[in-house]
Amino acid sequence: MGKSVIAGNWKMHMTCAEAQAFASAFLPLVASLPSDREVLLAPPFTAIATLAQALAGSGIQIGGQNVHWDRSGAYTGMISAAMLQEHGVTHAIVGHSEPRKYYSETDEQINLRARTAQKAGLIPILCVGESDSQREGGEAERVIRRQVEQGIDGLDPALLVVAYEPIWAIGTGKTCGAAEANRICGLIRSWVGYADVVVQYGGSVKADNIDLLMAQSDINGVLVGGASLDPVGFARIANYQVPESA
Ligand code: PGA
């Protein structure tokens, strides 16, 4: 198994000044991370340049919160892979449940975004996950499988991260149990068909549940929302420790 990927998604939080302050507090706490992991932050587009400068030379990487499938054009509010890469961005989140819900993004569009990202040299972080009612109705596996299969069509799984984010666990404080998260991440791994694909768990990940999540055999990373806004808490997440026996 390759390196784990610990990602923070700031969503619509953090001005440039706040991003700068975050970096000053965060960097000393992640100065000697173990070499088995990558850590990245996905700030709002406006804070990318500032954060890239603040993190330069630290090894902490930057992700975009989305990416368009076209190189340029009349797409108000969107951003291209080249625009992100100009600032050293290495990853792009696609298919997060928020744009799926608020902007009605489809699996087909998400796949186009992921393909464009990969072709440009960005690692797509493809988010998948079921809603509360889909889980209640026994639909979770079918929904996730469809999102995975359509999302990864035409992609190289070696240059991909898949994030399992049950919608009912996002921002709610309700973490999916570690064993169930691991089971679904294992299924995702088998549907991708590449044993070494990085599969993250996301949904109310915090400093106090990170060690248990990262001890699971099929979870090799996390996508963190709310808890990535606090430099001390996110540094603890980045410094997760898995007991030797796990
Ligand atoms: P949360 O968000 O950690 O605040 O639950 C996770 C996400 O949306 O990626």
What would the pLDDT profile of 108-130 be if each residue is shown by its tens digit? 999 999 999 999 999 999 999 99
Cα→Cα distances 231→34, 136, 216, 239, Å:
18, 35, 25, 12
Query: What are the DSSP calls for 11-58, one per residue?
Result: -S---HHHHHHHHHHHGGGGTT--TTEEEEEE--GGGHHHHHHHHTTS
pTM: 0.96
- Closest ligand 1 atom to residue 11 Cα is 8
Domain ranges of the chain: 4-8+42-135+143-223
Q: Specify the pLDDT at position 245.
A: 62
Q: Specify the pLDDT at position 174.
A: 80
The active-site residue, picked from 38, 105, 130, 165, is: 165
Residues 173 and 204 sit within 8 Å (Cβ to Cβ): yes
* Topology (CATH) of 4-8+42-135+143-223: TIM Barrel (3.20.20)
Please give the Cα distance from 48 to 87 (Å, whole number): 7
What would the pLDDT profile of 188-237 be if each residue is shown by its tens digit? 999 999 999 999 999 999 999 999 999 999 999 999 999 999 999 999 99
Please say if 96 is a catalytic residue: yes
* Cα-only R_g, the chain: 17
Nearest CA to 130 out of 83, 170, 71 is that of 170
Which residues, at least 6 apart from 193, have a Cβ–Cβ distance to it below 8 Å?
A: 157
The active-site residue, picked from 38, 68, 96, 130, is: 96
- Closest ligand 1 atom to residue 127 Cα is 9
Identify the residue whose C-alpha is closest to ligand 1 atom 3: 225
